[in-house]
Amino acid sequence: MKERVIIWFRRDLRLADNPALRAALDGDFDSIVPVYIHAPHELGDWAPGAAQRVWLHDSLTAFSDALEALGSRLLIRRGDTTDVLDTLIAESGATSVYWNRLYDPLTIARDKKVKQHLADNDIETASFKAHLLHEPWTVETKQGGPYKVFTPFWKAIKNRAVDTPLAAPDALPEVWSRIGSESLASLELRPKIGWDRGIRETWSPGEDGAHERLETFLADALETYDEARDEPARPGTSYLSPHLRWGEIGPRQIVHRIEEWLDEHRETKTLRTQADSFLSEIGWREFAHHVLYHFPTTPDEPLDARFKDFPWARDHEALERWQQGQTGIPMVDAGMRELWETGYVHNRLRMTVASFLTKNLRVAWQHGERWFWDTLVDADLANNTLGWQWAAGCGADAAPFFRIFNPARQGERFDANGEYVRRWVPELAKLEDRHIHEPWKAPAKALDTANITLGDDYPEPIVDLKESRREALAAFDEIKNDK
């Protein structure tokens, strides 16, 4: 008897190193039915945000084209996952459903429900590791619990063997023409008003785009990674995070390609150091998923319980000005405008704008987390949660609360000639380098020469950086000794 298998694709939109797909090809199946099920209601508040949906539309387009080039096609369905799978099983005669595992709380709960439902109906299921190097339950402290600090976590995993990536198939079996698909347009992932132009001009979603990004990084940036990674005006980072978010490339593909590149370029101590520095960022991604898996309430609640009683300010106007890049603090405004325009913001700026929101403005970190979720193309629940709790001082391996980034000093250090600020805050373009990060301190003559009137052409600072730092520390004093 011929058997058929459904491959349920989610955030693994690639052909190479796709264990579920490879297992199906290696199995005794005469038909493979690829499907993407659009069910945002099953992810509650953490369904993909607006920028992610723009990316997803183009990623699904690229993946569909790739499947068709091998003789298959991607089915698109929407609705409750169990209902969609039941219908597709009836239409295709499938006896098995395969997928690759994910680790955020609502997805885990949904997948368990789906697995039990299929088992109750005598449908074989199999799931596989594809999204991480090491699954969260496979890493534990000597005491047998989860890690809360990155350095010992990274020490525990950095020398572990990483599985060899799987090759992409050369061909795939045809999907019966009688099995229908909804159109991608019917999912309405792209906005009706074209605010996404900057995103679409900046990025090339899809598996090919991911590998092009990786090769560009290796050729142009890896050798100077430690030097350039913190300078937002330079292309010193990999820009792979949105491709990883949607599984257009997997982490073990990155690890193995870097090792190959080192071999090709006759690895030196300097190259090894640069590569290890970058690979530790892959480690941070692993750590974020480890923390979220073991502490599933952290997207909404601080890991440090003292912060439940922190006296956050309720300042909607301040939040809006931060969101709009109109705070009067150039590095903050530049970061927030880059985010709005491109769906991305440099990591140095992520830390800077998050510190400013949670400490100088004392707006609760959850508001920033939600804004990033809606505006970042690479918004990943694990990374987003870890990053915001780190910035607020209330999460795993968090920066001490008294570590408050001064955005003017950040600008002077990492954007010394003001190139980044001038790009995203053109109102200040003619201001001298020595004044561009603190225009409120510039003498009247310098402002006149640059055709700037503070309060008209560019905002006055929304807060005094020193005074707001003092107030934040005083607020922390109210809770720091709580148990």
- The string of pLDDT tens digits covering residues 341-354 is 999 999 999 999 99
Q: For position 375, what pLDDT does the model report?
A: 98
Residue 269 pLDDT grade (very low, low, confident, very high; cuts 50, 70, 90): very high
Token pair of 204 as six digits: 């090339």
Query: Is residue 355 pLDDT above 70, yes or no?
Result: yes
Whether the CB-CB separation of 211 and 248 falls below 8 Å is answered with: no
Q: For position 2, what pLDDT does the model report?
A: 67
Residue 397 pLDDT grade (very low, low, confident, very high; cuts 50, 70, 90): confident
Q: Cα dist. 302→152, 370, 395, 400 in Å? A: 22, 14, 6, 14
Q: For position 167, what pLDDT does the model report?
A: 97
- CA-to-CA distance for 202 and 343, rounded, in angstroms? 9
**pLDDT above 90 covers what percent of the chain?**
95
Task: Look up residue 189 and give its amino acid.
Answer: L
Residue 420 pLDDT grade (very low, low, confident, very high; cuts 50, 70, 90): very high
Instruction: For 369-382, write each residue's pLDDT tens digit.
Output: 999 999 999 999 99
- 328 dihedral zone (left: phi>0; alpha: psi -120 to 50; beta): left
Query: Is residue 226 pLDDT above 60, yes or no?
Result: yes
Q: For position 483, what pLDDT does the model report?
A: 54
Query: Is residue 1 pLDDT above 60, yes or no?
Result: no
pTM (predicted TM-score): 0.96
Q: What is the mean pLDDT of residues 143-159?
A: 96
- CA-to-CA distance for 43 and 307, rounded, in angstroms? 26
Q: What number of residues does the chain have?
A: 483
What's the chain look like in SS3?
CCCEEEEEECCCCCCCCCHHHHHHHHCCCCEEEEEEEECHHHHHHHCCCHHHHHHHHHHHHHHHHHHHHCCCCCEEEECCHHHHHHHHHHHHCCCEEEEECCCCHHHHHHHHHHHHHHHHCCCEEEEECCCCCCCHHHCCCCCCCCCCCHHHHHHHHCCCCCCCCCCCCCCCCCCCCCCCCCCHHHHCCCCCCCCCHHHHHHCCCCHHHHHHHHHHHHHHCHHHHHHHCCCCCCCCCCCCHHHHHCCCCCHHHHHHHHHHHHHHCCCCHHHHHHHHHHHHHHHHHHHHHHHHHHCCCCCCCCCCHHHHHCCCECCHHHHHHHHHCCCCCHHHHHHHHHHHHHCCCCHHHHHHHHHHHHHHCCECHHHHHHHHHHHCCCCCHHHHHHHHHHHHCCCCCCCCCCCCCCHHHHHHHHCCCCHHHHHHCHHHCCCCHHHCCCHHHCCHHHHHHCCCCECCCECCCCCCHHHHHHHHHHHHHCCCCCC
Q: What is the mean pLDDT of residues 273-298?
A: 97
Q: What is the mean pLDDT of residues 212-224?
A: 97
Task: Look up residue 158 and give its amino acid.
Answer: K
More confident residue, 129 or 401: 129
Token pair of 97 as six digits: 């459903």
β-pairing, 4-9 vs 96-100, is parallel
- In 3D, which of 63, 61, 2, 52 has the Cα closest to residue 27? 2
Q: For position 482, what pLDDT does the model report?
A: 65
Whether the CB-CB separation of 49 and 376 falls below 8 Å is answered with: yes
- In 3D, which of 480, 481, 462 has the Cα closest to residue 472? 480
Q: For position 418, what pLDDT does the model report?
A: 98
Residue 5 pLDDT grade (very low, low, confident, very high; cuts 50, 70, 90): very high
β-pairing, 75-78 vs 31-38, is parallel
For residue 323, what are the contacts with CB-CB under 8 A and spacing of at least 6? Answer: 336, 371
Token pair of 292 as six digits: 């979220």
Q: How many CB atoms sit inside 10 A of residue 200's CB?
A: 17
Q: Report the C-alpha dihedral over residues 360, 366, 367, 369, rounded to 10 degrees.
A: 100
Query: Is residue 399 pLDDT above 80, yes or no?
Result: no
Token pair of 47 as six digits: 């369904």
Q: For position 133, what pLDDT does the model report?
A: 98
Task: Kindly list the structural domains of the chain, giving each domain's residue range(s) and its CATH number in brackets, ordered by start.
Answer: 4-130 (3.40.50.620), 132-162+207-294 (1.25.40.80), 305-477 (1.10.579.10)
Task: Look up residue 191 and give its amino acid.
Answer: P
Catalytic residues: 281, 284, 312, 347, 365, 388
Task: Look up residue 72 and give its amino acid.
Answer: S
Tell me the pLDDT of the chain averaged across its residues.
Answer: 96
Instruction: For 41-65, write each residue's pLDDT tens digit.
Output: 999 999 999 999 999 999 999 999 9
Whether the CB-CB separation of 87 and 417 falls below 8 Å is answered with: no
Q: For position 165, what pLDDT does the model report?
A: 98
Residue 479 pLDDT grade (very low, low, confident, very high; cuts 50, 70, 90): confident
Whether the CB-CB separation of 354 and 386 falls below 8 Å is answered with: no
